[in-house]
Structures are given as C-alpha cells and as structure tokens.
Amino acid sequence: MNIDSSKFADARRASGLTLENAASICGIARQTYQLREKKAGDFHLSELAALNASMNESGKKLLRDAIYGIFF
C-alpha cells in the first residue's frame, strides 16, 4: 500500500490549520498528529471526521482525495 501522506498535510494547510490546531481538533498530542501525517494509514476514523468538520471547502476536498487515495 502506497499512501501519499503529503496530501493530508496539504489539506490541513489549505484550511489554515497548524499542526497544533489539527492535533487539538483530533484530541491528540502535536507529535502524535505529526506522526499520523507522515504515516497517514495510522489516522483513526474519528480523527479524520473531526478534521473534516473543521476544514474549509478546499481542505475538505483535498482531505477526501487523500482518503480516497488510501483505498483506490
């Protein structure tokens, strides 16, 4: 499985979220969030849902594309 983890960071940045903001939204430490971005297959569904709810439309589209890329 080859996941392009950079797409998750792109989605976060497109929504104007810092690593700290995103970690807080997910309810995890910044270091843990940063590891999730580097190895996106480790994201929990609840974390992705929380991020999606906090992103603007551009970020949401990029996040959907990143998630789609995990499976297809």
Q: What is the CATH number of the domain that holds 26?
A: 1.10.260
Give the residue numbers spanning the domain of 46. 6-71
What is the domain count for the chain? 1
Give residue 34's pLDDT.
Answer: 97
Higher pLDDT, 62 or 41: 62
Asked whether residue 63 is domain-assigned, the answer is: yes
Residue 30 located in a structural domain? yes
Residues 6+ apart with CB under 8 A from 38: 5
Q: Is residue 1 part of a domain?
A: no
What's the pLDDT tens digit per position in 24-61?
999 999 999 999 999 998 999 999 999 999 999 999 99
Whole-number pLDDT of residue 1: 59
CA separation (Å) from 52 to 1, 2, 4, 70?
23, 22, 18, 16
Choose between 62 and 70: higher pLDDT: 62
> pTM of the prediction?
0.91
